[in-house]
């Protein structure tokens, strides 16, 4: 079954969640969220910038599950961090989701102004509006700087990681600081070629699983929190059917060997949005 990971503040998070980056607001997102919750997911990862928080809330309500049974993450958008309006942005997200609290609130990117945003998030955490706070796209130097200026420790750092772009140095650094890592674009991202890699297909075939299932398993066995995205009900279910097999050490290493060191997403040290 889906394992729970205990974050550094004692809050538990389901290790496997549904990501909704690039899932269209409206029916597409509401359906994906409802399908996921019906399939057993209990963790949804969205962001203000995805434009679909209202539909995430809609999917949650359609599922009939209780709010407290589902772990919801959203993220502070860059413009709001730069403008110093993190608190307003937080309440706007909460209103769109239609919830009384958020489980995990993240700084989406390390933009100018993130330090002040972090202070605000620490206040929201102290006020118990959010059960955990963290960051996304933080490089080791950003984390060093955060840990030196604040007593509030991030619970997670959400970064790009997949067999193509393992990002292992950032993972190791983050873990060494007692912070959990969440992998985004875990299947190689939208329009990626990872899932048609022949080496991966050969491994998957031996387990009677799909390449996506094998990649999700690889993340889970590395101890990461992982949030694959799909808008297709069948794939959403398939991506959750990963708790009945285990990759061998040799197969883990064969997947490690697919690393090219090339990102699919933006570089946290050089982005322009
Ligand atoms: P779709 O949403 O059309 O299913 P990531 O999580 O790395 O961002 O990757 C998501 C991409 O992989 C999306 O384009 C998604 O497409 C596709 N995808 C998700 N699950 C599967 C699966 N089980 N098999 C094939 N493709 C998948």
Please give the mean pLDDT across all residues of the chain: 98
108 is in an annotated binding site: yes
Contact 176, 151 (CB under 8 A): no
| Whether the predicted pLDDT of 258 surpasses 80 | yes
| Whether the predicted pLDDT of 12 surpasses 80 | yes
**What average pLDDT does the segment 155-160 reach?**
98
Q: Looking at the CA of residue 231, tell me the nearest atom of ligand 1.
A: 2
150 CB near ligand 1 (under 6 Å): no
Distance 230 CA to ligand 1 centre (A): 5
**What average pLDDT does the segment 74-78 reach?**
98
Top-level class of domain 4-192+219-232: alpha beta
Contact 76, 121 (CB under 8 A): yes
232 CB near ligand 1 (under 6 Å): yes
The fraction of the chain above a pLDDT of 90, given in percent, is 99
| Whether the predicted pLDDT of 1 surpasses 80 | no
187 CB near ligand 1 (under 6 Å): yes
- Retrieve residue 260's tokens: 């090219």
End-to-end C-alpha distance for the chain, whole angstroms: 38
Strands (E), the chain: 4-6, 12-14, 18-19, 43-45, 71-76, 102-107, 130-136, 156-160, 180-184, 225-226
Supply the pTM of this predicted model. 0.98
**What average pLDDT does the segment 209-237 reach?**
98
pLDDT of residue 123: 98
22 CB near ligand 1 (under 6 Å): no
Which residues, including other chains, have CB under 8 Å from residue 162's CB and lie 6 or more apart? 183, 185, 186, 187, 188, 189, 192, 194, 215, 264
229 CB near ligand 1 (under 6 Å): yes
pLDDT of residue 2: 81
User: CA dihedral in degrees (163, 219, 160, 210; nearest 10)?
Assistant: 60
Mutate to test the pocket of ligand 1, among 23, 187, 195 (most ligand atoms within 8 A of CB): 187
Residue 68: pLDDT band (50, 70, 90) is very high
Residue 155: pLDDT band (50, 70, 90) is very high
pLDDT of residue 241: 98
Residue 211: pLDDT band (50, 70, 90) is very high
129 CB near ligand 1 (under 6 Å): no
pLDDT digits (tens, 9 = 90+) for 227-254: 999 999 999 999 999 999 999 999 999 9
CA distances 156 to 125, 176, 182, Å, are: 14, 12, 7
Q: Looking at the CA of residue 213, tell me the nearest atom of ligand 1.
A: 23
Q: Whose CA is nearest to atom 1 of ligand 1?
A: 230
Contact 106, 73 (CB under 8 A): yes
Q: Catalytic: 41? A: no
Distance 240 CA to ligand 1 centre (A): 13
**CA pair distance 249, 258, nearest whole angstrom:** 15
Mutate to test the pocket of ligand 1, among 191, 193, 216, 228 (most ligand atoms within 8 A of CB): 228
Distance 214 CA to ligand 1 centre (A): 13
């Amino acid at each position: 079954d889906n394992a729970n990971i205990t974050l550094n503040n004692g809050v538990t998070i389901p290790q496997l969640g549904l990501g909704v980056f690039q899932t269209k607001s409206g029916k597409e997102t509401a359906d994906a969220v409802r399908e996921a919750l019906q399939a057993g997911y209990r963790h949804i990862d969205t962001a203000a910038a995805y434009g679909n928080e209202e539909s995430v809330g809609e999917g949650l309500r359609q599922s009939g599950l209780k709010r407290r049974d589902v772990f919801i993450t959203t993220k502070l958008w860059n413009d709001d961090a730069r403008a110093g309006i993190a608190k307003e942005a937080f309440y706007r997200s909460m209103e769109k989701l239609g919830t009384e609290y958020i489980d995990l609130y993240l700084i989406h990117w390390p933009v100018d102004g993130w330090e002040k945003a972090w202070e605000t998030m620490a206040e929201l955490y102290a006020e118990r509006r959010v059960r955990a706070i963290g960051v996304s796209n933080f490089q080791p130097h950003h984390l060093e700087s955060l840990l030196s200026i604040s007593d509030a420790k991030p619970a997670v750092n959400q970064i790009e990681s997949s067999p193509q772009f393992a990002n292992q140095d950032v993972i190791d650094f983050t873990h060494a600081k007692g912070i959990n890592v969440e992998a985004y674009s875990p299947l190689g991202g939208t329009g990626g070629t990872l899932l048609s890699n022949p080496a991966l297909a050969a491994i998957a075939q031996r387990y009677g699983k799909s390449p996506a299932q094998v990649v999700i398993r690889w993340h889970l066995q590395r101890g990461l929190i992982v949030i694959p995205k799909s808008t297709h009900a069948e794939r959403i279910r398939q991506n959750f059917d990963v708790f009945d097999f285990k990759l061998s050490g040799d197969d883990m290493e064969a997947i490690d060997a697919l690393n090219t060191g090339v990102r699919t997403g933006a570089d946290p040290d050089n982005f322009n949005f």
